[in-house]
Amino acid sequence: MALQENGNDAPVFLPDNETDDYTQVIMYINKEYKEYEDQDNKPIQEVIKLPKNQQIVYNTILNNPGLRIPALSQLCGLKETSIDNAIRKLKKQSLVEYIGNKKGGGYFVL
């Protein structure tokens, strides 16, 4: 893994139980990057906690950009209406966006 090759610790995936319905990843970085922050003086990456279906859809779009609802439904193992609901909520939070025309476009993480 590139992180470990650069001398960083392995990422930590939380929660480590089956009852919580969100995913959090903690990644430790080298000291020289620790001070690097954006212009608003906020961390570059903030932890995103989402309900289970939204997290599944978000991760699937993140790893497979440009998919449409039928393909997302198959990959996620969720009904198209569940995908549509999750995407609507993700769009309200400005986390995903549909880019392209009706026939050739797809969803992308912002």
**Distance between CA atoms of residues 73 and 79, nearest Å:** 6
68 and 30 part of one domain: no
The reply to whether 6 and 36 lie within a common domain is: yes
pTM surpassing 0.75? no
Give bridge partners of residue 71 from the DSSP assignment: none
Give yes or no: residues 41 and 84 share one domain.
no
User: How many independent structural domains does the chain possess?
Assistant: 2
Give 24-46 pLDDT, tens digit per residue: 777 666 655 555 544 445 544 55
**Same-domain status, 35 and 61:** no
Domain extent at residue 90: 52-109
Residues 43, 57, single domain; the answer is no
Q: What's the average model confidence in pLDDT over 102-108?
A: 89
Considering the domain architecture, whether residues 91 and 68 belong to the same structural domain is answered as: yes
Residue 106 predicted with pLDDT over 80: yes
Average pLDDT, rounded, for the chain: 79
In 15-93 the beta strands, taken as DSSP E runs, fall at: 24-26
Identify the pLDDT of residue 28.
Answer: 64
pLDDT tens by residue, 5-14: 666 677 777 7
